[in-house]
Amino acid sequence: MEMDFCLITGRTSKQGESREIGKATEKYRDNTAIVRLNEDDMEGLGLEEGSSVQVSTEAGSVTVKARKDNGLGRGVVFMPIGPWASKVVGGDTCGTGCSHAKGLSASLSNTDDNVKSLKEILAG
């Protein structure tokens, strides 16, 4: 199952708190290598809380864990900033120095892949 979404990246308090504990820690990965989405969208994709899900944009794709967030409307998903989200954000700044990291066209699909560690994600 694959569905199209509008992807937003941003800060969260847990991402901020755990980055200070250490970016190589499990806690940082647990709080950062995630995508939040509406309960109905989770159901549509056949995902449960904590299921692996592949997020793909024209910039690349990455496997993260699904987390329920009903503050998001249907069709909008959210990833905390960090090395995992950086895989799906493009580098075209349109001459401004700043690329788009919010409102990206993304597709999400069910996957059996595991979430990569920081070292693995940086290696390729």
Interface ranges with other proteins (CB under 8 A): 6, 8-13, 16-18, 20-25, 59-60, 71-73, 76, 78, 81-83, 86-87, 89-103, 118-119, 122
The nearest distance, CB 63 to other proteins, in angstroms, is 14
The nearest distance, CB 56 to other proteins, in angstroms, is 13
Nearer Cβ to other proteins (82/108): 82
Q: What is the rounded CA–CA span in Å between residue 81 and residue 101?
A: 9
3-state secondary structure the chain: CEEEEEEEEECCHHHHHHHHHCCCCHHHHHHHCEEEECHHHHHHHCCCCCCEEEEEECCEEEEEEEEECCCCCCCEEEEECCCCHHHCCCCCCCCCCCCCCEEEEEEEEECCCCCCCHHHHHHC
Nearer Cβ to other proteins (73/110): 73
Nearer Cβ to other proteins (27/110): 27
The nearest distance, CB 37 to other proteins, in angstroms, is 11
The nearest distance, CB 20 to other proteins, in angstroms, is 4
